[in-house]
Structures are given as structure tokens and as C-alpha cells.
Amino acid sequence: MAILKCRACNFSNLKRFLELGNIPPVNAFIDEKDIKNEKFYPLNLSYCSNCLLVQIEEVVNPDELFSNYLHLSSGSQSNINHLQEVADVIKNKYTIDKSTKILEIGSNDGTLLEFLKNHGFQVLGIDPAKNLIEISAHKGVETLPIFFNTKSATEIENSKGKFNLVVALNVIPHTPEVVDLLKGVRQILAEKGTLIMEGAYAIETILKGEFDTIYHEHVYSFSLHSLINTFRLAGLKIIDVEKISTQGGSLRIFAQDEFCASKVSNSVRNLLDEEKKIGLNNSKIYDSVDHKVKQFKDNLNKLIKSEKILAGKSLVGIGAPARGVVILNYCSIGTEDISYIIDDTPLKQGKVSPGTHIPIRSWEELNKNPSKSFILLSWNYKNHLIDRLKKQIPSARIIVPFPRLGVESFD
């Protein structure tokens, strides 16, 4: 069902600025035999002229998206490194004490919580993906297979008490009922407790034309302006913000209950000023996105065509992340352009990519079906993946879609 009102502030003047067409859920990798049952949903993007929150208009039932989740936190070394860094930030910023309790919302396979447990914290995970519970249990991380909201917050509080830290990495942008989730966080935080969240930063992603962070799982793209407005609706105050490089550009936010919040760091005022300067509250910045995205599609298809002619055959994809699935679907890139995609995630291997049906293989496949021409779908892990490719093959040409579309090569 399409919405007419802002999901956060309820204001009814949403402005559509991008249409990506009908796209399947980006983590719904399927067996070839199930292609005929595949579901597609419209993907249109609007912003709220009241609170500036960028949001998709039509959400897919979260049960369908998250109950059997194929994206593993431990699926890539770069992501593991990032989670180790988050654990170290937490360790250095907060006093370690066996009584310090940390709750992670969207704890996935327990990778971050295992690091935090090893640092001496008491940890609890929340994640609706039933297929991941066993993996995290194996790491000694208790996980409740539920969605986090005010209702489940009450249940958790009754059985486990309150928490000093709540961590939510790339999960708040995925939650349609975002204000309810944030109210649940406020409820479960101990006095002076802190919420740490991370999410893709609209200004460094979609508003630059990097549309590949837009998918059904990803209901919102935040700016600091829209985050402050949304958090305020749940009684939370943002006290510190950092820009980080994950997801092609993200924000890391620290927030507390507005009634007992610490002093707000200068970082918050500085970033708000920066966003105003960029023109975040002016419709021009949104109106320019559609043209940038269409231009990208044309240019990418031309580049694929010329690289195919040069290679004399179709390309091989590197990485099958959600963002890659968006690029493939929006730009109509299928098996005639890419013969297979290599990806480390065992749960994706042997299946085909959602919508475009390109087979997913392990890196081993490169030995059996070698190639010299590639397209990097996990472009946010470029250096790591190109280094890895160099170890396996002597020379290659690689299309890199973002942040600037082009071809890189080595020999």
C-alpha cells in the first residue's frame, strides 16, 4: 500500500523525486526453479517537506524481508573489520564493567556482540532472522528472534531489565515504524544510557545520485536534520555525530533520552550548518537526482557494451550485495551481460540474483571459468576486492559503478 503521509511526522506533503520501477526484495536470492514465483514491488522515493526525511513510498511486509535473511555480518572481511572497529569505539568510550549491558537491535549473526562480549560487556541480541539464531548461539551470544518495538521492549525490560547501551547498525533505516522503534529504545535505556546508530547518509548517497542504497529494506535515507526531527518525536536527543565511510558514506549517531542527555557536541551544530550550506532544505537538491540517475543508467550500459566487445564475451560480477541487485535491476543488466557473480556468502551461492537471475558462485568459480573483464558490484569494498582479484588472476579490467563510473585495470 502506497503512503501519502510522512512515516515519521505524519505531514501529508510528501514529494516524489525518484522512480526506480518494479524491483524484487534485494536479499531475496532464489533457486532457479522458483523464478516464476518471484515478487516485484514498486520502488519510488519521496522526501517530506516538513521534516526532510527521505523515504520510500511503498514498504514490503518486514516478515517477508527479514525472517530468512541471507546477508551475514560475518560474510565479508571488510564488514568484520568494521564491526571490530565499532566494538573498539564502544570499549574506548564507555567504562567496561561486567555490569554494563548492551543490547543490539538487528544483531544478525552475532559478530559485533561476540567482540563486545570479549571486551567484557554483557550482551543480548535481537534479530527476527530465525536462520541466524543458531549461528549467533554458536558464538555464545543470546539472541531473541523478534522485531524490536515498544511492545517487545516492554517484554525484554520485564525479563532482562534496562540496558546501558543500545546499538543499531543499519537497522533504523530499515524499520517502517521508526518512531515506535525509537520510543522502545528510549524505554529500555538505563539512566544516562546511550543509543549508537549507523545508517547511510542521504547527502553522500542518494542525493549525489548513488541510488543503490535505495531498496525496500531501506525505508529511510537520513540526514542529520531529518534524524533530529525523527528522534525528537520519540523523546531522544542526538548528542554527537560522526561521518563514517561505510555504505559509501554513513552517519554514526549517539543519542540519549532528552530529559537526561549530556551536553550536545559541536559536531552536531557543525554538520547541521554543513547540510544547510549544501541546500538540504531546498527542493533543488532533490529535483536533480532523477536526471543524475538516468544519466548513470545510460552511461553504465554503454560501458558494459564496450567492455563486452573488448573481452569478446560477457563480464563476471564481483560481489552480490543488496546495492548491486538494485543497480542490476534498475539498469536492466542480466545474464547476457554478466555470466555469473562471485560472492563469499554461502547462503547466496548456487542461487540466482533477484530479478535479473544471474547465477551466484564462490570465488573458486574463477578458476573453472576464468575472466579478464569484471563489474564491481560491491564497489564500497573496492580496494579489498581488487587486491583479492589480483591474487587470483594476472590481469583484469573492472567496471566500477560508484562513486565515479569508470574502468580500472591491472596487469
Query: Does 48 contact Zn ion by CB under 5 A?
Result: yes
Name the segment binding Zn ion (CB under 5 A); options: 5-13, 204-212, 294-302, 362-370.
Answer: 5-13
Query: Does 40 contact Zn ion by CB under 5 A?
Result: no
By the 8 A CB rule, do 163 and 101 touch?
yes
Q: Per-residue contact track with Zn ion, 272 to 301, x per CB under 5 A?
A: ------------------------------
Q: Per-residue contact track with Zn ion, 77 to 116, x per CB under 5 A?
A: ----------------------------------------
**Distance of closest approach, residue 9 Cβ to Zn ion, in angstroms:** 3
| Extended strands (E) in 78-212 | 101-105, 122-126, 143-144, 163-169, 189-200
Name the segment binding Zn ion (CB under 5 A); options: 41-49, 166-174, 300-308, 389-397.
Answer: 41-49
| Radius of gyration, alpha carbons of the chain | 21
Query: Does 49 contact Zn ion by CB under 5 A?
Result: no
Query: Three cell numbers at 159?
Result: 525479563
**Distance of closest approach, residue 14 Cβ to Zn ion, in angstroms:** 8
Query: Could you tell me the CA-to-CA distances from 166 to 63, 267, 375 in Å, in that order?
Result: 23, 21, 37
Q: Pairing state of beta strands 360-361 and 338-342?
A: parallel
What is the amino acid identity at position 130? K
First vs last C-alpha separation in the chain: 51
Q: What are phi and psi of 381, to 5 degrees?
A: -115, 35
Name the segment binding Zn ion (CB under 5 A); options: 53-61, 120-128, 158-166, 188-196.
Answer: 53-61
Query: Does 11 contact Zn ion by CB under 5 A?
Result: yes
Query: Three cell numbers at 392?
Result: 587470483
**Distance of closest approach, residue 13 Cβ to Zn ion, in angstroms:** 9
Sequence-distant (6+) residues with CB within 8 A of 158 are none
Q: Is 93 left (phi over 0), alpha (psi -120 to 50) or beta?
A: alpha
Q: Which of 44, 50, 68, 335 binds Zn ion (CB under 5 A)?
A: 50
Nearer CB in complex with Zn ion: 53/60? 53
**Distance of closest approach, residue 236 Cβ to Zn ion, in angstroms:** 16
Q: Which of 18, 28, 51, 169 binds Zn ion (CB under 5 A)?
A: 51
Residues making contact with Zn ion (CB under 5 A)? 6, 8-9, 11, 48, 50-51, 53
